[in-house]
Structure 1
Amino acid sequence: MTAFMRAYVRIVDGANYHIGRVMMYGIFVMAAILLWSSISKTYFLPSLWTLEMAQFAMVAYYIMGGPYSMQLGSNVRMDLFYGRWSVTTRAWVDSFTVLFLIFFLGVLLYGGIDSLLYSLQYTERSPTAWRPVLWPIKTIMCIGIGLMLLQAISELFKDIAHIRDIEI
Protein backbone atom coordinates (compact mmCIF):
# COMPACT_ATOMS: atom_id res chain seq x y z
CA MET A 1 0.00 0.00 0.00
CA THR A 2 2.94 2.32 0.55
CA ALA A 3 3.81 2.38 -3.16
CA PHE A 4 0.20 3.26 -3.98
CA MET A 5 0.19 5.99 -1.32
CA ARG A 6 3.45 7.46 -2.62
CA ALA A 7 2.21 7.49 -6.22
CA TYR A 8 -1.15 8.95 -5.21
CA VAL A 9 0.42 11.72 -3.13
CA ARG A 10 2.96 12.53 -5.86
CA ILE A 11 0.31 12.74 -8.61
CA VAL A 12 -2.34 14.62 -6.63
CA ASP A 13 0.12 17.03 -5.00
CA GLY A 14 1.78 17.69 -8.35
CA ALA A 15 -1.49 18.37 -10.14
CA ASN A 16 -2.84 20.62 -7.37
CA TYR A 17 0.49 22.44 -7.13
CA HIS A 18 0.46 23.34 -10.82
CA ILE A 19 -3.24 24.24 -10.84
CA GLY A 20 -2.76 26.39 -7.74
CA ARG A 21 0.22 28.21 -9.25
CA VAL A 22 -1.84 29.04 -12.35
CA MET A 23 -4.86 30.10 -10.28
CA MET A 24 -2.69 32.56 -8.35
CA TYR A 25 -2.94 34.81 -11.39
CA GLY A 26 -6.74 34.78 -11.16
CA ILE A 27 -6.51 37.88 -8.98
CA PHE A 28 -5.37 39.80 -12.06
CA VAL A 29 -8.37 38.53 -14.02
CA MET A 30 -10.69 39.77 -11.29
CA ALA A 31 -8.87 43.11 -11.10
CA ALA A 32 -9.14 43.54 -14.88
CA ILE A 33 -12.86 42.81 -14.83
CA LEU A 34 -13.48 45.25 -11.99
CA LEU A 35 -11.26 47.88 -13.61
CA TRP A 36 -13.25 47.57 -16.82
CA SER A 37 -16.43 47.87 -14.75
CA SER A 38 -15.22 51.15 -13.25
CA ILE A 39 -14.06 52.53 -16.60
CA SER A 40 -17.26 51.56 -18.40
CA LYS A 41 -19.45 53.10 -15.68
CA THR A 42 -17.48 56.33 -15.80
CA TYR A 43 -16.93 56.85 -19.51
CA PHE A 44 -19.32 54.53 -21.34
CA LEU A 45 -22.53 52.70 -20.70
CA PRO A 46 -22.34 50.44 -17.63
CA SER A 47 -21.73 46.81 -18.51
CA LEU A 48 -24.28 44.29 -17.31
CA TRP A 49 -21.82 41.42 -17.14
CA THR A 50 -18.97 42.82 -15.04
CA LEU A 51 -20.23 42.25 -11.50
CA GLU A 52 -21.40 38.72 -12.14
CA MET A 53 -18.31 37.84 -14.14
CA ALA A 54 -16.13 39.10 -11.28
CA GLN A 55 -18.12 36.88 -8.92
CA PHE A 56 -17.59 33.88 -11.21
CA ALA A 57 -13.87 34.66 -11.42
CA MET A 58 -13.72 34.89 -7.62
CA VAL A 59 -15.45 31.51 -7.24
CA ALA A 60 -12.99 29.91 -9.68
CA TYR A 61 -10.09 31.61 -7.88
CA TYR A 62 -10.84 30.29 -4.42
CA ILE A 63 -12.39 26.93 -5.37
CA MET A 64 -9.52 25.93 -7.66
CA GLY A 65 -6.90 27.43 -5.32
CA GLY A 66 -8.22 25.66 -2.22
CA PRO A 67 -6.37 22.37 -2.71
CA TYR A 68 -3.10 24.27 -3.21
CA SER A 69 -3.75 26.19 -0.01
CA MET A 70 -4.38 22.93 1.85
CA GLN A 71 -1.22 21.44 0.41
CA LEU A 72 0.84 24.37 1.69
CA GLY A 73 -0.76 24.13 5.12
CA SER A 74 -2.08 27.67 4.90
CA ASN A 75 -5.60 26.69 5.89
CA VAL A 76 -6.92 28.11 9.15
CA ARG A 77 -6.50 26.05 12.31
CA MET A 78 -7.54 26.64 15.88
CA ASP A 79 -4.08 27.06 17.38
CA LEU A 80 -5.08 27.07 21.04
CA PHE A 81 -3.75 23.55 21.61
CA TYR A 82 -2.50 22.52 18.16
CA GLY A 83 0.62 24.69 18.24
CA ARG A 84 1.88 23.08 21.47
CA TRP A 85 1.44 19.50 20.32
CA SER A 86 4.24 17.36 18.94
CA VAL A 87 4.32 16.68 15.21
CA THR A 88 3.14 13.10 15.76
CA THR A 89 0.18 14.22 17.88
CA ARG A 90 -0.74 16.73 15.19
CA ALA A 91 -0.62 13.94 12.59
CA TRP A 92 -2.93 11.78 14.75
CA VAL A 93 -5.43 14.60 15.20
CA ASP A 94 -5.22 15.63 11.54
CA SER A 95 -5.73 12.05 10.38
CA PHE A 96 -8.89 11.88 12.47
CA THR A 97 -10.34 15.29 11.60
CA VAL A 98 -9.61 14.98 7.88
CA LEU A 99 -12.14 12.14 7.80
CA PHE A 100 -14.86 14.68 8.58
CA LEU A 101 -13.56 16.90 5.78
CA ILE A 102 -13.56 13.97 3.35
CA PHE A 103 -17.17 13.14 4.29
CA PHE A 104 -18.21 16.78 3.92
CA LEU A 105 -16.49 17.15 0.55
CA GLY A 106 -18.06 13.89 -0.66
CA VAL A 107 -21.55 15.15 0.22
CA LEU A 108 -20.74 18.54 -1.32
CA LEU A 109 -19.49 16.93 -4.52
CA TYR A 110 -22.58 14.73 -4.73
CA GLY A 111 -24.83 17.80 -4.42
CA GLY A 112 -22.68 19.76 -6.84
CA ILE A 113 -22.85 17.08 -9.51
CA ASP A 114 -26.63 16.85 -9.05
CA SER A 115 -26.90 20.63 -9.43
CA LEU A 116 -24.62 20.57 -12.49
CA LEU A 117 -26.72 17.89 -14.16
CA TYR A 118 -29.88 19.91 -13.48
CA SER A 119 -28.20 22.99 -14.91
CA LEU A 120 -27.21 21.12 -18.06
CA GLN A 121 -30.57 19.44 -18.49
CA TYR A 122 -32.65 22.62 -18.19
CA THR A 123 -30.08 25.15 -19.46
CA GLU A 124 -30.28 26.97 -16.14
CA ARG A 125 -29.58 30.68 -16.30
CA SER A 126 -28.82 33.27 -13.68
CA PRO A 127 -31.84 35.43 -12.73
CA THR A 128 -29.93 38.67 -13.40
CA ALA A 129 -30.18 41.07 -16.32
CA TRP A 130 -27.17 39.46 -18.04
CA ARG A 131 -28.66 35.93 -17.67
CA PRO A 132 -25.55 33.77 -18.29
CA VAL A 133 -25.85 30.00 -18.30
CA LEU A 134 -24.67 28.53 -15.01
CA TRP A 135 -23.23 25.18 -16.07
CA PRO A 136 -19.68 26.51 -16.69
CA ILE A 137 -19.27 27.84 -13.15
CA LYS A 138 -20.95 24.77 -11.69
CA THR A 139 -18.51 22.60 -13.63
CA ILE A 140 -15.58 24.57 -12.21
CA MET A 141 -17.06 24.19 -8.73
CA CYS A 142 -17.39 20.41 -9.12
CA ILE A 143 -13.83 20.12 -10.42
CA GLY A 144 -12.52 22.26 -7.54
CA ILE A 145 -14.43 20.27 -4.92
CA GLY A 146 -13.16 17.05 -6.50
CA LEU A 147 -9.57 18.31 -6.40
CA MET A 148 -10.05 19.35 -2.76
CA LEU A 149 -11.36 15.86 -1.98
CA LEU A 150 -8.33 14.28 -3.66
CA GLN A 151 -6.02 16.63 -1.75
CA ALA A 152 -7.72 15.79 1.56
CA ILE A 153 -7.11 12.09 0.88
CA SER A 154 -3.50 12.93 0.05
CA GLU A 155 -3.16 14.75 3.38
CA LEU A 156 -4.62 11.70 5.12
CA PHE A 157 -2.02 9.49 3.45
CA LYS A 158 0.76 11.88 4.51
CA ASP A 159 -0.50 11.84 8.12
CA ILE A 160 -0.70 8.03 8.15
CA ALA A 161 2.83 7.83 6.75
CA HIS A 162 4.07 10.27 9.38
CA ILE A 163 2.43 8.28 12.19
CA ARG A 164 4.04 5.07 10.88
CA ASP A 165 7.35 6.87 10.41
CA ILE A 166 7.39 6.13 6.67
CA GLU A 167 8.99 8.51 4.18
CA ILE A 168 6.44 9.39 1.50
Structure 2
Amino acid sequence: MTAFMQAYVRRVEAFNYRLGRFAMYLIFLMIGILAWSSISKTFFLPSLWTLEMAQFTMMAYFLLGGAYSIQLGSNVRMDLLYGAWSDRQKAAFDAVTVLFLLFYLGVMFYGGWLSTSYSIEYGERTRTAWRPYMWPIKVVMMAGILLMLSQALAELFKDIMRLTGHRDVEEKS
Protein backbone atom coordinates (compact mmCIF):
# COMPACT_ATOMS: atom_id res chain seq x y z
CA MET A 1 0.00 0.00 0.00
CA THR A 2 2.83 2.37 0.81
CA ALA A 3 4.40 1.80 -2.62
CA PHE A 4 1.08 2.71 -4.24
CA MET A 5 0.76 5.86 -2.13
CA GLN A 6 4.33 6.91 -2.92
CA ALA A 7 3.82 6.36 -6.66
CA TYR A 8 0.51 8.23 -6.57
CA VAL A 9 2.02 11.19 -4.70
CA ARG A 10 5.01 11.32 -7.03
CA ARG A 11 2.90 11.29 -10.22
CA VAL A 12 0.21 13.68 -9.03
CA GLU A 13 2.70 16.17 -7.65
CA ALA A 14 4.84 16.07 -10.80
CA PHE A 15 1.81 16.77 -13.00
CA ASN A 16 0.36 19.46 -10.73
CA TYR A 17 3.74 21.16 -10.43
CA ARG A 18 4.12 21.44 -14.22
CA LEU A 19 0.54 22.58 -14.74
CA GLY A 20 0.77 25.06 -11.87
CA ARG A 21 3.94 26.58 -13.33
CA PHE A 22 2.09 26.97 -16.65
CA ALA A 23 -1.05 28.36 -15.02
CA MET A 24 0.83 31.10 -13.22
CA TYR A 25 1.64 32.66 -16.60
CA LEU A 26 -2.08 33.03 -17.37
CA ILE A 27 -1.94 36.24 -15.33
CA PHE A 28 0.05 37.80 -18.17
CA LEU A 29 -2.62 36.74 -20.67
CA MET A 30 -5.22 38.39 -18.46
CA ILE A 31 -3.11 41.57 -18.25
CA GLY A 32 -2.85 41.58 -22.04
CA ILE A 33 -6.61 41.19 -22.43
CA LEU A 34 -7.29 44.02 -19.99
CA ALA A 35 -4.66 46.21 -21.66
CA TRP A 36 -6.33 45.60 -25.02
CA SER A 37 -9.65 46.49 -23.42
CA SER A 38 -8.27 49.84 -22.27
CA ILE A 39 -6.63 50.57 -25.61
CA SER A 40 -9.69 49.63 -27.64
CA LYS A 41 -12.00 51.73 -25.45
CA THR A 42 -9.70 54.73 -25.76
CA PHE A 43 -8.69 54.64 -29.41
CA PHE A 44 -11.11 52.30 -31.20
CA LEU A 45 -14.53 50.78 -30.68
CA PRO A 46 -14.83 48.97 -27.35
CA SER A 47 -14.39 45.19 -27.61
CA LEU A 48 -17.33 43.12 -26.49
CA TRP A 49 -15.27 40.10 -25.50
CA THR A 50 -12.58 41.54 -23.21
CA LEU A 51 -14.36 41.60 -19.85
CA GLU A 52 -15.67 38.05 -20.05
CA MET A 53 -12.44 36.73 -21.51
CA ALA A 54 -10.52 38.30 -18.63
CA GLN A 55 -12.95 36.66 -16.19
CA PHE A 56 -12.56 33.28 -17.89
CA THR A 57 -8.77 33.62 -17.84
CA MET A 58 -8.85 34.52 -14.15
CA MET A 59 -11.03 31.48 -13.45
CA ALA A 60 -8.56 29.22 -15.29
CA TYR A 61 -5.64 30.85 -13.47
CA PHE A 62 -7.28 30.35 -10.10
CA LEU A 63 -8.58 26.80 -10.58
CA LEU A 64 -5.69 25.31 -12.54
CA GLY A 65 -3.26 26.77 -10.01
CA GLY A 66 -5.25 25.50 -7.02
CA ALA A 67 -3.59 22.07 -6.88
CA TYR A 68 -0.16 23.71 -7.16
CA SER A 69 -1.07 26.01 -4.28
CA ILE A 70 -2.10 23.03 -2.14
CA GLN A 71 1.13 21.28 -3.08
CA LEU A 72 3.24 24.24 -1.98
CA GLY A 73 1.34 24.51 1.30
CA SER A 74 0.42 28.11 0.60
CA ASN A 75 -2.96 27.73 2.25
CA VAL A 76 -3.86 29.85 5.26
CA ARG A 77 -3.28 28.17 8.59
CA MET A 78 -3.70 29.41 12.14
CA ASP A 79 -0.16 29.16 13.46
CA LEU A 80 -1.05 29.95 17.07
CA LEU A 81 -1.04 26.29 18.10
CA TYR A 82 0.08 24.53 14.91
CA GLY A 83 3.58 26.03 14.90
CA ALA A 84 4.44 24.59 18.31
CA TRP A 85 3.29 21.05 17.49
CA SER A 86 5.58 18.17 16.58
CA ASP A 87 5.68 16.87 13.01
CA ARG A 88 3.59 13.88 14.06
CA GLN A 89 0.91 16.09 15.63
CA LYS A 90 0.85 18.29 12.53
CA ALA A 91 0.46 15.23 10.28
CA ALA A 92 -2.41 13.90 12.43
CA PHE A 93 -4.19 17.26 12.39
CA ASP A 94 -3.63 17.69 8.65
CA ALA A 95 -4.90 14.15 7.98
CA VAL A 96 -8.18 15.01 9.68
CA THR A 97 -8.62 18.46 8.16
CA VAL A 98 -7.81 17.30 4.63
CA LEU A 99 -10.90 15.07 4.88
CA PHE A 100 -13.01 18.23 5.12
CA LEU A 101 -11.24 19.61 2.04
CA LEU A 102 -11.89 16.36 0.16
CA PHE A 103 -15.59 16.53 1.10
CA TYR A 104 -15.83 20.18 0.02
CA LEU A 105 -14.09 19.53 -3.29
CA GLY A 106 -16.26 16.45 -3.84
CA VAL A 107 -19.42 18.51 -3.43
CA MET A 108 -18.00 21.17 -5.77
CA PHE A 109 -17.11 18.48 -8.32
CA TYR A 110 -20.62 17.01 -8.17
CA GLY A 111 -22.26 20.41 -8.63
CA GLY A 112 -19.79 21.33 -11.36
CA TRP A 113 -20.48 18.05 -13.14
CA LEU A 114 -24.22 18.76 -13.18
CA SER A 115 -23.67 22.34 -14.35
CA THR A 116 -21.18 21.33 -17.05
CA SER A 117 -23.38 18.56 -18.44
CA TYR A 118 -26.35 20.96 -18.52
CA SER A 119 -24.21 23.54 -20.28
CA ILE A 120 -23.07 21.07 -22.94
CA GLU A 121 -26.52 19.54 -23.44
CA TYR A 122 -28.38 22.82 -23.88
CA GLY A 123 -25.66 24.99 -25.41
CA GLU A 124 -25.69 27.43 -22.49
CA ARG A 125 -24.39 30.91 -23.27
CA THR A 126 -23.84 34.02 -21.19
CA ARG A 127 -26.43 36.80 -21.29
CA THR A 128 -24.12 39.44 -22.67
CA ALA A 129 -23.66 40.99 -26.10
CA TRP A 130 -20.74 38.65 -26.88
CA ARG A 131 -22.68 35.51 -25.79
CA PRO A 132 -19.86 32.95 -25.55
CA TYR A 133 -20.62 29.33 -24.80
CA MET A 134 -20.20 28.44 -21.13
CA TRP A 135 -19.12 24.82 -21.51
CA PRO A 136 -15.41 25.48 -22.27
CA ILE A 137 -14.78 27.36 -19.02
CA LYS A 138 -16.89 24.86 -17.10
CA VAL A 139 -14.73 22.03 -18.44
CA VAL A 140 -11.64 23.93 -17.28
CA MET A 141 -13.35 24.43 -13.92
CA MET A 142 -14.01 20.69 -13.63
CA ALA A 143 -10.40 19.88 -14.52
CA GLY A 144 -9.13 22.29 -11.86
CA ILE A 145 -11.41 20.84 -9.19
CA LEU A 146 -10.39 17.30 -10.16
CA LEU A 147 -6.71 18.25 -9.91
CA MET A 148 -7.29 19.83 -6.48
CA LEU A 149 -9.06 16.64 -5.40
CA SER A 150 -6.13 14.53 -6.57
CA GLN A 151 -3.65 16.82 -4.79
CA ALA A 152 -5.69 16.78 -1.57
CA LEU A 153 -5.68 12.97 -1.71
CA ALA A 154 -1.91 13.07 -2.21
CA GLU A 155 -1.64 15.28 0.88
CA LEU A 156 -3.69 12.74 2.84
CA PHE A 157 -1.38 9.95 1.65
CA LYS A 158 1.68 11.98 2.70
CA ASP A 159 0.17 12.57 6.14
CA ILE A 160 -0.61 8.86 6.54
CA MET A 161 2.95 7.96 5.54
CA ARG A 162 4.33 10.49 8.04
CA LEU A 163 2.13 9.04 10.79
CA THR A 164 3.29 5.50 10.00
CA GLY A 165 6.93 6.53 10.21
CA HIS A 166 8.05 6.77 6.59
CA ARG A 167 10.92 9.25 6.53
CA ASP A 168 11.18 9.52 2.74
CA VAL A 169 8.17 11.86 2.61
CA GLU A 170 9.29 15.48 2.28
CA GLU A 171 8.38 17.67 5.23
CA LYS A 172 5.92 20.54 4.95
CA SER A 173 7.30 24.01 5.42
Could you say whether these structures have the same fold, taking a TM-score greater than 0.5 normalized by the shorter chain as the test? yes
Q: How does 1:1-168 map to 2 (within 5 A)?
A: 1-166=1-166, 167-168=168-169
Q: Residues 13-33 of structure 1, C-alpha deviation per residue, up to 9 Å, x if partnerless?
A: 011000001111111000000
TM-score, normalized by length of structure 2? 0.95
Aligned residues: CA RMSD: 0.8
Amino acid of the structure 1 residue aligned with 2:150: L
Instruction: Give the letter aligned to residue 86 of structure 1.
Output: S
- Deviation string for 1:133-166 (max 9, x for gaps)? 0000000000000000000000000011111111
Q: Which residue identity is paired with 2:41?
A: K
Cα displacement (A) at 1:75: 1.1
> Could you tell me how far apart the structure 2 residues matched to 1:9 and 1:66 are?
16
The CA distance in 2 between the partners of 1:62 and 1:79, in whole Å, is 25
Question: What CA distance in whole angstroms lies between the structure 2 residues aligned with 1:132 and 1:99?
Answer: 36
Displacement, 1:112? 0.4
Q: Which runs of 5+ in 2 are unaligned?
A: none
Provide the rounded CA distance (Å) in 2 between the counterparts of 1:61 and 1:165.
36
Displacement of 1:78 after TM fit? 1.8
Kindly provide the amino acid, as one letter, of the partner of residue 94 in structure 1. Answer: D
- Which letter does structure 2 place at the counterpart of 1:17? Y
Supply the distance in 2 between the matched residues of 1:128 and 1:63 (Cα, whole angstroms).
23
TM-score (norm 1): 0.98
Instruction: State the Cα distance separating 1:85 from its structure 2 match.
Output: 1.4
**Shift in Å at residue 79 of structure 1?**
1.8
The number of residue pairs the alignment matches comes to 168
Q: CA deviation at 1:87?
A: 1.5
Give the letter aligned to residue 12 of structure 2.
V
Give the superposition deviation at 1:80.
2.1
Deviates more, 1:90-99 or 1:71-80: 71-80
| 1:107-156 CA-partner distances (Å, limit 9, x unpaired) | 11011011000000000000111110000000000000000000000000
Distance 2:55 2:80 in 1: 34
For residue 125 of structure 1, give the secondary structure of its aligned residue in structure 2.
Answer: coil
